[in-house]
Homo-oligomer: A and B are copies of this chain.
């Protein structure tokens, strides 16, 4: 039932001014202010929310490029002049939708702004029913990145106990979970990351068997062979380009490559060439792109799997939290320089 009290408030927004090519800059995102009526009109079936936590994810770089039928098969392009759209945790202020009432919490796609009016479609938003864990987790461990790690590792990776697993960008929102899932499955797992701090996290906090700094390696293929002298069963791919080339030749027979992301390629005008694809044939490798949106029907199953581990302290999660909507642009762009340590998000409001 729509609220009848009208209250107009300011609504700060982060606007996407125009399509970006190459490396995005902070000036590619503008902070502005508008106003919003905190009451939905009578008869609306939408949900009006106050945004609490906002997620910064590498895929968002794809949305910033010129509309492209290939890239937009995965994610829609942003609309110039409109707010950035991302995943967020929000609280319901007013609702015309039967599934939501004032005070409910949900996560899903919202504009980068203080208040949003949401139109619900299948799997666009999920109600938050478990609040004994940090709410911010619904931007990461319990949201899209968690579900991505789960679907990619278990459904695409088809892991078996004792297998070897390599994760690139391993301390990120998704990678840190893939490593922990791999350990829970009884696999041997090694991760790569871009700083000593991240490598330490992998080994001490997330329980990776080993980890290395990719930037310090002259020959990535040699580095990978050092950790996997017998080869890799599963590669969880977040990076693409040279890293993929180096991994392919280190795969075992019948290895699986779950292609979750290729962050090294998103800012390039022309993606790097991958030269070692004949090895996909020689080693009978399955290289498979996947997107979490194809797996959201398993979201409840994922929660049943992961929540007990969180409560028992058997899965941990590192977040890198910025404060305030204004921090959004630098928070997002820092991803592409690897500035974040763990899951990057920012707080719009704490309640």
Contacts and interface: CB of A to CB of B under 8 A. Distances in A.
Given A277-B240, A289-B283, A291-B284, A73 B253 contact: yes
A73 B279 CA distance: 9
A277 B244 contact: yes
A169 to B, nearest CB: 14
A91 B18 CA distance: 73
A227 B274 CA distance: 27
Interface residues of A, number: 40
B274 A277 contact: yes
A67 to B, nearest CB: 13
Interface in A177-214: none
Interface string A252-278: 011000011110011000111111111
A70 B259 contact: no
A2 to B, nearest CB: 38
Given A273-B272, A276-B271, A282 B71 contact: yes
B284 A287 contact: no
A335 interface: no
A72, A278, A282 pick with most chain B CB within 10 angstroms? A278
A284 B290 contact: yes
A187 to B, nearest CB: 21
Contacts of A277: 240, 244, 259, 262, 271, 274
A288 B285 contact: yes
Contact of A281 (B72, B282, B289): B289
Interface string A273-309: 1111111111111111111001000000000000000
What are the 7 tightest A-B residue pairs by CB atom distance, in nearest-first order? A273-B273, A281-B289, A280-B289, A74-B282, A286-B288, A287-B287, A73-B282
12 contacts: A240-B278, A259-B277, A259-B281, A261-B281, A271-B275, A271-B277, A272-B275, A280-B287, A280-B288, A281-B289, A283-B289, A287-B287
